[in-house]
Structure 1
Amino acid sequence: MSNQITVEIAYARSDTQVIMSVRLGVGATAIQAIERSGILEKFPEIDIKQNKIGIFGKLTKLETVVRDKDRVEIYRKLIADPKEVRRQRAEEGKAMKKGGGELE
């Protein structure tokens, strides 16, 4: 059994998406994978103390030990609150009559 694992680091902006692969020793943490990838230098807007991270879409902590073939994802802050956007759409829908035409 090898004492090395391969982990992907993923980050996306509205204009680009990056997935990097790194080799680490068994027992490495998510923060070690992120730092080893060089992604923090490539995207200086990432503040690892502020941005949330996850492994395959599940929120996790920087100290989490990663496993072979894990994908560590760095999340950006939301531009708009999804609940607020849904509320606004619902309000707009009330101003529409059935069939999509606007009320007069």
Structure 2
Amino acid sequence: MTAPRIEVEVAYAEPHRQRVVALAVVPGTSARDAVRQAALPSLFPERDAAFFEQAPLGIFGQVLKAPEHHVLEAGDRVEVYRALALDPKQARLARARGRG
């Protein structure tokens, strides 16, 4: 008999490409462990494995303070965050100046 599993997703996006990986994990899996299981370095070879080990994580837009200890629930979507190329406030300001 196999151990029960819960369905979760792990999502990561670069400016022109994104991937959402569906996983069936054992109950008690942490958000960080799910990211490891998603094998994102093989999907985004431009990022090294260390990036995914250290990147901030969230669940449905809520940043996790301790992703190594956050236990996932069925249906959770773990999001891997990266630094923005341009601050959104600065981008809006630049667009506004261009219109004036």
Which category describes the TM-score, using the shorter chain as reference length?
Answer: 0.7 to 0.9
Give the whole-Å Cα distance in 1 for the aligned partners of 2:23 and 2:12: 14
Percent of aligned pairs with the same amino acid: 34
1:1-104 alignment runs, 5 A limit: 3-44=4-45, 45=47, 47-60=51-64, 61-63=66-68, 64-92=70-98, 96=100
Q: Deviations over 1:15-69 (max 9, x none)?
A: 2111111111111100111111111332241613543211111111322111111
Mapped to 2, the partners of 1:31 and 1:50 lie a distance apart of 9
C-alpha RMSD over aligned residues: 2.0
Detail structure 1 runs of 4+ shifted over 6 Å in the superposition: none
Q: Structure 2 stretches of 5 or more lacking a match?
A: none
Instruction: Output the amino acid matched with 1:78.
Output: L
TM-score, normalized by length of structure 2?
0.77
Runs of at least 5 residues in structure 1 that lack an aligned partner in the other structure: 97-104
Q: Give the number of equivalent residue pairs.
A: 93
